[in-house]
Each structure stands twice: as structure tokens, then as C-alpha cells.
């Protein structure tokens, strides 16, 4: 997601830039507002049911995620 920073009153450009990601609006050198598309806002404002939902990875776009298999060798403890 791209982040765009604009100053001044160029609303049309800001709305177009918000299609690619949040638009930070600055006044007197300080960020004062963030412009989002309504879809991005709804995604952020959507209530989470539980901590697992909040921390869940988004669905993969290019196929299923297959983590590598891990093999752990177990050795007996040496108490000598």
C-alpha cells in the first residue's frame, strides 16, 4: 500500500491518490488528517471478534501458504 503526503487544497488529486493507500494531509508542517477510501475505512473500523481474528494473516492472493516443515533432533540428556 502506497502512502501519499499532500499539502494544500488539491482534493481531486488526494482522492485519486487514496485509491493506492492512505493520504496524509499536512498543515503547517504537521500531519493533521488522513484520507482513506470508504472500503479502507470500513476494513479498519470493522469490529474484531477476538484476538485471533485481529492477529490473523490476510488471505493469500497468490495461493495457499505452505510453511516449511521443521525437523527437530532430540538427544538424550547427558548428566555425567
Per-residue tens of pLDDT for the chain, all 80 residues: 677 776 666 778 888 889 999 988 888 888 888 999 999 988 888 876 777 776 776 655 556 667 788 888 888 888 88
Report DSSP letters for the chain, one per residue. Answer: ---EEEESS-HHHHHHHTTTS-EEEEETTEEEEEE--HHHHHHHHSPPSSHHHHHPPPPPSSS---PPP-----------
- 12 within a domain of the structure (yes/no): yes
pTM of the model: 0.49
Look at the chain and report how many structural domains it folds into: 1
Tell whether 6 is covered by a domain.
Answer: yes
Q: Is residue 7 assigned to a domain?
A: yes
Please give the residue range of the domain that contains residue 14: 1-28
Amino acid at each position: 500500500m502506497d502512502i501519499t503526503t499532500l499539502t494544500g487544497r488539491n482534493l481531486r488529486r488526494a482522492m485519486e491518490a487514496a485509491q493506492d493507500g492512505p493520504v496524509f494531509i499536512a498543515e503547517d508542517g504537521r500531519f493533521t488528517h488522513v484520507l482513506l477510501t470508504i472500503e479502507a475505512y470500513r476494513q479498519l473500523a470493522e469490529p474484531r471478534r477476538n484476538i485471533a481474528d485481529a492477529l490473523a494473516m490476510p488471505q493469500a492472493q497468490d495461493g495457499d501458504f505452505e510453511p516449511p516443515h521443521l525437523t527437530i533432533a532430540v538427544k538424550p540428556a547427558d548428566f555425567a
